[in-house]
Amino acid sequence: MNASHPLSLQRGVSMIEMLITLVILSIGLLGIAGLQSRGQLATQASYTVTQSVTQAYDIMDRIRTNALFAVNDVVLVGGNGYAVTEAPSSSVDCETTPCSQVALKDYDLAEWYKNLGNTLPLGTGSIAIASSTATTVTYTITIQWTLKEVERQEGGEATRQQQWALTVSSI
Protein backbone atom coordinates (compact mmCIF):
# COMPACT_ATOMS: atom_id res chain seq x y z
CA MET A 1 0.00 0.00 0.00
CA ASN A 2 0.98 3.51 -0.70
CA ALA A 3 1.68 5.51 2.50
CA SER A 4 0.43 8.70 0.87
CA HIS A 5 -3.00 7.24 0.24
CA PRO A 6 -5.59 8.77 2.70
CA LEU A 7 -6.96 5.43 3.85
CA SER A 8 -3.57 4.12 4.83
CA LEU A 9 -3.14 6.90 7.43
CA GLN A 10 -6.14 5.81 9.49
CA ARG A 11 -5.19 2.68 11.41
CA GLY A 12 -7.81 2.56 14.19
CA VAL A 13 -10.16 4.43 16.45
CA SER A 14 -8.55 7.13 18.53
CA MET A 15 -8.85 7.22 22.31
CA ILE A 16 -10.88 10.47 22.16
CA GLU A 17 -13.44 8.91 19.82
CA MET A 18 -13.82 5.96 22.17
CA LEU A 19 -14.31 8.23 25.19
CA ILE A 20 -16.96 10.30 23.40
CA THR A 21 -18.79 7.13 22.39
CA LEU A 22 -18.63 5.83 25.95
CA VAL A 23 -20.03 9.12 27.37
CA ILE A 24 -22.92 9.15 24.90
CA LEU A 25 -23.70 5.50 25.62
CA SER A 26 -23.57 6.12 29.40
CA ILE A 27 -26.01 9.04 29.16
CA GLY A 28 -28.42 6.90 27.15
CA LEU A 29 -28.23 4.02 29.64
CA LEU A 30 -28.81 6.38 32.58
CA GLY A 31 -31.91 7.72 30.81
CA ILE A 32 -33.22 4.21 30.30
CA ALA A 33 -32.62 3.37 33.98
CA GLY A 34 -34.55 6.49 35.01
CA LEU A 35 -37.46 5.54 32.77
CA GLN A 36 -37.51 2.05 34.23
CA SER A 37 -37.58 3.46 37.76
CA ARG A 38 -40.50 5.77 36.92
CA GLY A 39 -42.30 2.87 35.28
CA GLN A 40 -41.99 0.77 38.43
CA LEU A 41 -43.39 3.64 40.53
CA ALA A 42 -46.34 4.00 38.17
CA THR A 43 -46.94 0.26 38.29
CA GLN A 44 -46.94 0.27 42.11
CA ALA A 45 -49.34 3.24 42.26
CA SER A 46 -51.62 1.55 39.73
CA TYR A 47 -51.56 -1.68 41.73
CA THR A 48 -52.63 0.19 44.88
CA VAL A 49 -55.52 1.87 43.07
CA THR A 50 -56.57 -1.52 41.71
CA GLN A 51 -56.56 -2.93 45.24
CA SER A 52 -58.79 -0.09 46.44
CA VAL A 53 -61.25 -0.78 43.62
CA THR A 54 -61.21 -4.47 44.49
CA GLN A 55 -61.98 -3.67 48.12
CA ALA A 56 -64.80 -1.31 47.14
CA TYR A 57 -66.40 -3.97 44.96
CA ASP A 58 -65.96 -6.50 47.75
CA ILE A 59 -68.01 -4.46 50.22
CA MET A 60 -70.56 -3.57 47.53
CA ASP A 61 -71.09 -7.26 46.83
CA ARG A 62 -71.40 -7.95 50.56
CA ILE A 63 -74.03 -5.21 50.91
CA ARG A 64 -75.95 -6.51 47.89
CA THR A 65 -75.92 -10.01 49.42
CA ASN A 66 -77.58 -8.62 52.56
CA ALA A 67 -79.72 -6.07 50.67
CA LEU A 68 -82.92 -6.55 52.67
CA PHE A 69 -81.11 -5.63 55.88
CA ALA A 70 -79.14 -2.83 54.17
CA VAL A 71 -82.40 -1.14 53.14
CA ASN A 72 -84.91 -2.18 55.82
CA ASP A 73 -82.66 -1.24 58.74
CA VAL A 74 -82.42 2.31 57.39
CA VAL A 75 -85.94 2.76 56.01
CA LEU A 76 -88.09 0.79 58.46
CA VAL A 77 -86.07 0.74 61.67
CA GLY A 78 -84.24 4.06 61.36
CA GLY A 79 -80.89 2.34 61.88
CA ASN A 80 -77.57 2.83 60.14
CA GLY A 81 -77.63 -0.23 57.90
CA TYR A 82 -74.09 -0.66 56.64
CA ALA A 83 -73.07 2.92 57.48
CA VAL A 84 -69.91 2.77 59.59
CA THR A 85 -66.72 4.76 60.26
CA GLU A 86 -64.74 2.07 62.07
CA ALA A 87 -64.57 -1.69 62.16
CA PRO A 88 -67.13 -3.42 64.36
CA SER A 89 -66.10 -6.49 66.29
CA SER A 90 -67.42 -9.78 65.02
CA SER A 91 -67.06 -13.00 66.97
CA VAL A 92 -69.06 -15.11 64.51
CA ASP A 93 -67.62 -16.57 61.32
CA CYS A 94 -70.53 -16.31 58.90
CA GLU A 95 -68.73 -18.44 56.32
CA THR A 96 -68.98 -21.53 58.52
CA THR A 97 -71.92 -20.67 60.79
CA PRO A 98 -75.42 -19.48 59.85
CA CYS A 99 -75.79 -15.81 60.84
CA SER A 100 -78.56 -13.32 61.37
CA GLN A 101 -78.67 -10.30 59.09
CA VAL A 102 -77.14 -8.09 61.80
CA ALA A 103 -74.37 -10.61 62.52
CA LEU A 104 -73.70 -10.88 58.77
CA LYS A 105 -73.37 -7.09 58.54
CA ASP A 106 -70.88 -7.04 61.45
CA TYR A 107 -68.95 -9.93 59.92
CA ASP A 108 -68.89 -8.28 56.48
CA LEU A 109 -67.63 -4.97 57.87
CA ALA A 110 -65.02 -6.63 60.11
CA GLU A 111 -63.69 -8.64 57.16
CA TRP A 112 -63.69 -5.55 54.92
CA TYR A 113 -61.71 -3.49 57.41
CA LYS A 114 -59.25 -6.36 57.90
CA ASN A 115 -58.78 -6.64 54.12
CA LEU A 116 -58.32 -2.87 53.77
CA GLY A 117 -55.52 -2.95 56.31
CA ASN A 118 -53.89 -5.96 54.66
CA THR A 119 -53.99 -4.77 51.04
CA LEU A 120 -53.53 -0.99 51.24
CA PRO A 121 -50.81 0.95 53.03
CA LEU A 122 -52.58 2.14 56.21
CA GLY A 123 -55.87 1.55 54.42
CA THR A 124 -59.08 2.71 56.06
CA GLY A 125 -62.64 3.12 54.94
CA SER A 126 -66.05 4.41 55.82
CA ILE A 127 -69.59 3.93 54.58
CA ALA A 128 -72.23 6.64 54.85
CA ILE A 129 -75.87 6.91 53.87
CA ALA A 130 -76.15 9.42 51.04
CA SER A 131 -79.91 9.19 50.56
CA SER A 132 -82.88 6.90 51.04
CA THR A 133 -86.40 6.41 49.76
CA ALA A 134 -89.14 3.99 50.78
CA THR A 135 -87.46 1.12 48.92
CA THR A 136 -83.83 2.16 48.27
CA VAL A 137 -80.78 3.36 50.13
CA THR A 138 -77.73 4.93 48.51
CA TYR A 139 -74.48 4.34 50.36
CA THR A 140 -71.26 6.30 49.80
CA ILE A 141 -68.18 4.12 50.20
CA THR A 142 -64.90 5.92 50.89
CA ILE A 143 -61.50 4.25 50.93
CA GLN A 144 -58.32 6.07 51.93
CA TRP A 145 -54.68 4.99 52.09
CA THR A 146 -51.26 6.50 52.68
CA LEU A 147 -49.05 7.16 49.69
CA LYS A 148 -45.45 6.03 49.80
CA GLU A 149 -42.89 8.81 49.93
CA VAL A 150 -41.85 8.27 46.31
CA GLU A 151 -45.50 8.46 45.11
CA ARG A 152 -46.13 11.89 46.62
CA GLN A 153 -46.02 14.95 44.44
CA GLU A 154 -43.80 17.74 45.69
CA GLY A 155 -45.83 19.48 48.39
CA GLY A 156 -48.75 17.15 47.64
CA GLU A 157 -51.04 15.10 49.81
CA ALA A 158 -49.76 12.20 51.87
CA THR A 159 -52.95 10.18 51.36
CA ARG A 160 -55.20 9.21 48.51
CA GLN A 161 -58.94 8.75 48.72
CA GLN A 162 -61.56 7.30 46.39
CA GLN A 163 -65.34 7.22 46.67
CA TRP A 164 -68.08 5.06 45.20
CA ALA A 165 -71.85 5.23 45.40
CA LEU A 166 -74.04 2.14 45.70
CA THR A 167 -77.83 2.14 45.53
CA VAL A 168 -79.47 -0.89 47.10
CA SER A 169 -83.13 -1.77 46.64
CA SER A 170 -85.34 -3.94 48.83
CA ILE A 171 -87.52 -4.93 45.90
Domain map of the chain by residue range? 51-169
| pLDDT for position 18 | 87
The answer on pLDDT for 82 being more than 90 is: yes
Mean pLDDT of 62-78: 94
> Which residues make Cβ contacts (< 8 Å) with residue 122, sequence separation at least 6?
145, 146
Q: How far is CA 152 from the centre of its chain?
A: 14
In the predicted structure, residue 171 carries a pLDDT above the cut 80: no
* pLDDT, position 91: 79
Please report which confidence band the pLDDT of residue 41 belongs to, taking 50, 70 and 90 as the band edges: confident
Distance between CA 106 and CA 5 in Å, rounded?
93
Instruction: List, for residues 117-166, the tens digit of each pLDDT value.
Output: 999 999 999 999 999 999 999 999 999 999 876 666 655 678 889 999 99
The pLDDT tens digits of the residues spanning 83-104 come to: 998 888 877 899 999 999 999 9
* pLDDT band at residue 71 under the 50/70/90 scheme: very high
Q: What is the pLDDT of residue 42?
A: 79
What's the whole-number average pLDDT of the chain? Answer: 88
Name the pTM for this structure.
0.76
Q: What is the amino acid identity at position 135?
A: T
Quick check: 8 and 15 in contact, CB under 8 A?
no
pLDDT tops 70 at residue 2: no
Nearest-CA neighbor of 119 among 50, 38, 40?
50
Q: How far apart are CA 50 and CA 161, in angstroms?
A: 13
SS3 letters across the chain: CCCCCHHHHCCCCCHHHHHHHHHHHHHHHHHHHHHHHHHHHHHHHHHHHHHHHHHHHHHHHHHHHCHHHHHHHHHCCCCCCCCECCCCCCCCCCCCCCCCHHHHHHHHHHHHHHHHHHHCCCCEEEEEEEEECCCEEEEEEEEEEECCHHHCCCCCCCEEEEEEEEEEECC
CB-based contact 115:55 (threshold 8 Å) = yes
